[in-house]
Amino acid sequence: MARFDDQLAAVEAGDSEARGITRRGFLIGTMAGTAMMAFGLSGTAGAASDSASQSLTAGRYEPTIWYAIGPDGIVTVHITKAEMGQHVATSLARLVAEELEADWSSIEVVYVDSDPKWGYMVTGGSWSVHQSYLPLSRAGAAGRIALIEAGATLLGVDPAACHAREGRVISGDASIGYGEIVAQVGLERTFSEEELEKIDLKPVGERRVLGTQGGALDVPAKVNGEAIYGIDVTVDKMLHARPVLPPTRFGSRPVSVDDSAAKQVEGYRQTIELDDPSGVCQGWLAVIADNTSAAMRAADALKVEWQRGDSYAITEADIQAQGRALVASPSRDNGGLFVDIGDASGVLEDAGRVVDSTYTTSSVLHFQLEPVNATVVEEDGHWHIHCGNQQQSLAVNMLAKALEVDESRITLHQYYLGGGFGRRLYGDYTVPAALAAKALGRPVKMLFTRPDDTRLDCVRSPSVQRLRSALDASGRVLASEHAAAAGWPSAAMAPAFLAETVENGGKVDAFAISGADHWYDVGAQRVWAQQNHRVHEVFVPGYLRSVGPGWTTWAVEQHIDELALAAGADPAEFRLGLLKAEGRNAGQAPHSIGGAERLKAVLNRAMDKAGWADRDNLPEDVGMGVALTFGQERHMPTWVACIVRVRVDRGDGTITVERLTTVADAGTLAHPDGAMAQLEGSLLWGLSMALHEGTEYGKGKPEALNLDAYTPLRMHQVPEMDLEFVDSDAMPVGLGEPGTTVVAPAIANAVQHAVGVRLRDMPMRAESLKAAL
């Protein structure tokens, strides 16, 4: 199966000439006259054999700099990821500090601007710590080695007699600080890729940073008001803009514009039509004013007659009808195979007992706290884009097409994000701001209202799934077939990420089917990913925290419960019997070592903590349900077991989640406080999407445009939570997303246990349950 980092490598390789970098070796050197030590990946094949300082000063390649040490001993870690409340900078800085043996009080972080030297810039998929663990840890270790060698020279001792601790090289009673070493010695030390891979990281027992408690580096600035978000940006002589959105995302255009009422708004300047060569802004207008308030009010006063695109007539029901047709007869014509093991179709055809179920999920909106915005300035032919963004490399590419300039003439300046959740993985909101600035020849700050943001949102696609599984007379699962139909975000945004995971099976979007490749032993298995093209006619399907597993886990974990009921087995015990660390489910080092046994372990622990043994002694209309997840991607599993206790009100169909018990094995926790915050937040959003969130598309837009109609979980609805991490020294994996996927099926399974009703549509509405009762 193609892994994301393999796909990313292919994307980068295809663009290597434009980026001017390769990943060949690791250099450490002091730039002449700067007294600063820089660490990074070399940019040319011969770099490892050159003097580091010569290479840095000669400019023969661009090093990808991860961190630097100044003569004052301050270690500055360069963060290429977006900080949107997940405290990623703290975790990444901890990876460096651990192996560098830096004094944590000397650590500072800088969120870097876009530049090809950083490689492909993206923050999503819960990848940040996992994918950075080995590169940053080895970078820290290499720095420690070089500093010890240089420090030993200054101390006049053998390097073997030295060790590093808290930013100092120590030999007996003598020691010297990192800053002193940098100031006094011209460091020249190189490491090839092969040498880096041979560096032994510190034994777990010697860790002094990873796994320890401590606050997040971004919190103080956010508390005292110093933190700057994209929405806070101001530049000299800038104008303010608000977009005026057409009735459909595609194919609409303005026929006439009457701004007579807008002219009565003090500060209003003009309304312009945006000419977009990239095709992102089809029929868009922009209201220009002297301030944000004027732009908002003038846009509301504008009268526009539109020619609507054809998708105006498409409804959510039409989308789901297409999805049902696709899963009824899946084929390579509309997607491809994601898993193909054995003769699943043949076994199902001959089976005496087949459990056949269909599940749906509705469109889900991001509703991040900070509405999307961008401020654009052109200086001497170079375009500066100021905003918060999760995928700078994609945004720069989009902007280059829209502005019709080379990517080298665009820099995206990164700021804190007031929430991202995957919305800012698509930088479409930067395009209209850039087009307005180009048309006016002035800096422009464009701010979307929340309804504007919602209408433009790249929502999590609605989905339809069908699962069929065969059981023998003893209740053993013989075969399973799973077909999922939804919009494919990568097909819309980054087609290079589509991959063929089964030989001759056709390309699929892993972000629309991951999670269906579960760790249960179900005999022969076939998984189809089907692209619902009707979705793509209406909106751009996007990445929303967990993406595919947000619907695939919903179906898989309910279907496993249905199989258990058909077999007359306890749902948790039934799962334990399917979790066999054999074959493809055995796992492999370093990413998924232990395989299904680790998922089994968290389930056993959760059963003990939740009192699963007393499940059949609960009060009337109270039920307990279980679900498992491994996160977003099989090659980077985060093992999670969730058990919920619910109470159902038969009078109105209301579901109340009383208790939520979750046990997670995420390997090494770089930042335990941040990890717990991620787990709590993801579980609660999963609960919110399970019972409250979801909208429908009609007339070119979501039915709910603001929080008066779209009602996420409220504080008084938060249940008692009992959360635990397994103590593990395995490779760290992702934590931003697993929790969002596991709660909904656990609730559905608990409702079935409580009142005998199976809810297969998400969100689970009270009126649907009442009708079923």
Q: Please report, for residues 282, 433, 498, 736, the alpha-carbon distance to residue 417 in angstroms, rounded to integers and kept in the order given.
A: 26, 18, 28, 15
Distance CA 421, CA 754 (A): 33
Tell me the two tokens of residue 725. 């991490």
What is residue 424's three-state secondary structure? helix
How high is the pLDDT of residue 196? 86
Of 454, 457, 481, 459, the closest CA to residue 469 belongs to 481
Q: Kindly give, in sequence order, each residue whose CB lies less than 8 Å from that of residue 597, ignoring residues fewer than 6 positions away.
A: 579, 581, 587
Helix and strand counts by DSSP (H, E) for the chain: 22, 32
Distance CA 264, CA 272 (A): 17
Give φ, ψ of 392 to 5 degrees.
-60, -40
Q: Kindly give, in sequence order, each residue whose CB lies less than 8 Å from that of residue 506, ignoring residues fewer than 6 positions away.
A: 332, 335, 336, 337, 500
How high is the pLDDT of residue 89? 98
Q: What is the 3-state secondary structure (H, E, C) of 292-359?
A: HHHHHHHHHHCEEEEECCHHHHCCHHHHHHHHHHHHHCCCHHHEEEEEEECCHHHHHHHCCEEEEEEE
Of 92, 45, 48, the closest CA to residue 67 belongs to 92
| Identity of residue 193 | E
Residues of the chain with pLDDT under 50: 1, 4, 11-25, 30-34, 41-64
Tell me the two tokens of residue 489. 């975000």
Q: Please name the helix (run of DSSP H) or strand (run of DSSP E) that holds residue 380, with its range, or none.
A: none
Q: Alpha carbon 540 to chain centroid distance?
A: 17
Contact 722, 661 (CB under 8 A): yes
Beta strands in 524-676 (DSSP E): 524-531, 622-629, 639-648, 655-665
Q: Please report, for residues 133, 553, 654, the alpha-carbon distance to residue 658 in angstroms, rounded to integers and kept in the order given.
A: 37, 22, 12
Distance CA 732, CA 204 (A): 13
What is residue 266's three-state secondary structure? coil
Of 165, 96, 179, 82, the closest CA to residue 133 belongs to 96
| Identity of residue 433 | A
Contact 291, 444 (CB under 8 A): no
Q: Please name the helix (run of DSSP H) or strand (run of DSSP E) that holds residue 239, with its range, or none.
A: strand 239-244
Of 599, 626, 595, 598, the closest CA to residue 613 belongs to 626
CA angle 395, 396, 401 (to 5 degrees): 100
How high is the pLDDT of residue 117? 87
Tell me the two tokens of residue 693. 């969130």
Per DSSP, 695 falls in state: B
CB atoms within 10 A of CB 263: 13
pTM here is: 0.93
Q: Please report, for residues 39, 60, 84, 192, 691, the alpha-carbon distance to residue 53 in angstroms, rounded to integers and kept in the order given.
A: 11, 11, 36, 16, 59
Q: Give, rounded to a whole angstrom, the gap between the first and last alpha carbons of the chain.
A: 43
Of 427, 441, 439, the closest CA to residue 230 belongs to 427
Q: Which residue has the tokens 């959510």?
A: 316
Tell me the two tokens of residue 471. 């059981």
How high is the pLDDT of residue 66? 87
Question: Could you report the per-residue pLDDT of 687-723, keeping only the tens digit for each?
Answer: 999 999 999 999 999 999 999 999 999 999 999 999 9
Overall residue count recorded for the chain in this entry: 773
